[in-house]
Structure formats: structure tokens, C-alpha cells
Amino acid sequence: MKKGDKLAVKDGYAVCPVCRHKTSQAIRPDTVADNLQLWCRNCKAIHLVKIDRGQCSMISRCR
């Protein structure tokens, strides 16, 4: 994954860009966030993401 890549959203939750596991971060169709820290339990890493109305994109991996 690199900056600007789109993240998948599954069943209303963001999917980890690295391991593709569903995270506990809920994404609504109208969610807007910048530099959101997306924590993945599976790879125990935080990913910085940007969410623009349900479109989630990767900023960087910050661990």
C-alpha cells in the first residue's frame, strides 16, 4: 500500500490495508476524517488514513 491507495470498507468497517482484516473502525457513508489513526489488532500497527465520505485512503503507516 502506498499513499493515496484506497482502503476497502467491509460491512461498514474499515479494512486493514496490510492484512485485509476488518478493523473496529466504523465507516459511515458520510464519515470524513483526516489523519485518522486506524488500529489493526491483527498486525498490531497503526495506519494513518484519510476518510472522505466513506472513501478511505492510506496516508502512511506510523509505527
Residues at the contact surface with Zn ion, assessed by CB under 5 A:
16, 18-19, 40, 42-43
Question: Whose Cβ is closer to Zn ion: residue 8's or residue 32's?
Answer: 8
User: Toward Zn ion, which CB reaches closer, 30 or 44?
Assistant: 44
Angle at 12 between CA 21 and CA 31, to 5 degrees: 115
Cβ proximity to Zn ion: between 30 and 61 the closer is 61
Q: How far is the CB of 16 from Zn ion (least distance, A)?
A: 3
